[in-house]
Amino acid sequence: MRNSIEFRLFGKYALFTDPLTKIGGEKMTYQIPTYQALKGIIESIYWKPTITIFIDKVRVMNAIKMESKGVRPIEYGGGNTLAHYTYLKDVCYHVQAHFEFNPHRSDLAFDRNEGKHYAILKRSLEAGGRRDIFLGARECQGYVEPISFDGGEGFYDEADLHFGTMVHGINYPDETGRNEMEVRLWNPVMQNGVVHFIRPDECEHVRSIAAMEPKPFTQQAITSVEELWQEVNK
């Protein structure tokens, strides 16, 4: 696929929080990463508002294991409380994704140099990302490295699983053209160890969260890909 990258994503723990479990102040992870979590990880590798990241598929390489921990999260009113968080343990995924130019950011047309964005993205991936990688939560450090998506043996290569209704991701106004934030839901299915993600605009269950307007950008407010290209090639 055009502008496509493939990489291994791994870490000791992950917390892709099911929002239904946050009501009582505790958190429990989904069994697999959400589309939005993977999108955020790639944006930690390389992000520009000019482009939009699309997650194509994820391959679950290790067995799905969970571990609960007692934690003392900080309360909004000050002090600490006691809670149990349930994490995924010893996670490893193969991810395939690509980028496209954001059609709702005509103000950034000057920054649309496909070849240089792709080259910087691949170089950033080889370096392990331009910012820290987190597996769903800040306390879950993650790591990335380029790899063939189909390489190696996965624990679920011959398994099919259904995961019920999950959060797919968040719609932001600069990616939809609508001045509101929305949440998307879907029903993922694993086939031979691989979950194929539908595109955000293909999600049938979308709910509005709040009114929001996109952040405006000017040519003087961001580092263009041309300037960034010169910087990484010094």
What is the pLDDT, as a whole number, of residue 114?
A: 93
pLDDT at 217: 80
Cite the DSSP H helix spans in the chain.
35-45, 114-126, 173-176, 225-232
- pLDDT tens sequence for the chain (234 residues): 689 999 999 999 999 999 988 877 789 999 999 999 999 999 999 999 999 999 999 999 999 999 999 888 877 777 788 888 999 999 999 999 999 999 998 888 889 999 999 999 999 999 999 999 999 999 999 999 999 999 999 999 999 999 999 999 999 999 999 999 999 999 999 999 999 999 999 999 999 999 999 888 877 778 888 777 777 776
- The number of angstroms, rounded, from the C-alpha of 30 to the middle of its chain's C-alpha atoms is 14
Distant-in-sequence, close-in-space partners of 189: CB < 8 Å, separation ≥ 6: 160, 161, 162, 163, 195
pLDDT of residue 62: 98
DSSP 8-state code for residue 229: H
Asked if 43 and 49 count as a contact pair (C-beta separation under 8 A), the reply is: no
The per-type count for the chain, helices as H runs and strands as E runs, is 4, 13
**Token pair of 181 as six digits:** 């934030």
Q: What is the pLDDT of residue 78?
A: 78
- Please give the model's pTM, rounded to 2 decimal places: 0.93
Domain that holds residue 220: 4-232
- Give the per-residue pLDDT at 225: 82
Count of domains for the chain: 1
Q: How many CB atoms neighbour CB 95 within 10 A?
A: 21
Secondary structure string (H, E, C) spanning 27-78: EEECCCCCHHHHHHHHHHHCCCCCEEEEEEEEEECCCCCEEEEEECCECCCC
Which pLDDT score is estimated for 230? 78
Neighbour tally for 79: CB within 10 Å: 8
Task: Give the CATH number of the domain where residue 124 resides.
Answer: 3.30.70.2660
